[in-house]
Amino acid sequence: MKTCWECGGELQVVKDQPYHYTESGLDNVKLYGIVQYKCKKCCESGAEIPKIEELHLVIGRMIICKKHTLNAQEIKYLRKELGLKSKEMAELLSVSPQEYSKWENARDFMSPVYDTKLRLIYVLNADHQYGKNKN
């Protein structure tokens, strides 16, 4: 029997429910077929997510391959996956940190030119062969 990391109570295993992976920083990621746990006492929950680095690369690939303009969460996700500070990403995109901040905080939309440039930066710096991002 596994015990809760918060209260020490008994954990219930959940296998047949999708897991809303909010830890990714994205609202729309659900994982299927992974083991989840829920404490019967305090209702704390968690999941076993195997191969998390590979998962993040798959999420990144799905983001950069989508047809629509990147949204604020996706812009932030790609930057964080590359291990960059927002100021560093702004520099790579040749924009001011203030302009980049507006995109990440949904106060302005990223133009198609910068959208494409950000996708290319991710492609050139994400290492799909080794299952992790180049740093």
Q: What is the pLDDT of residues 20-39, one digit of tens each?
A: 999 999 999 999 999 999 99
d(CA 46, CA 65): 29
Average pLDDT (56-63) is: 95
* Domain boundaries 52-133, corresponding CATH code: 1.10.260.40
Q: How confident is the model at residue 2 (pLDDT cuts 50, 70, 90)?
A: confident
d(CA 42, CA 77): 31
pTM attached to this predicted model: 0.85
DSSP state of 31: E
pLDDT of residue 38: 93
Q: Where are the domains of the chain?
A: 11-47, 52-133
Distances (CA, A) of 103 to 28, 88, 91: 19, 14, 14
For residue 95, give the nearest of 87, 85, 106 by alpha carbon: 87
pLDDT for residue 128 is more than 80 = no
- The tokens of 104 are what? 């990440």
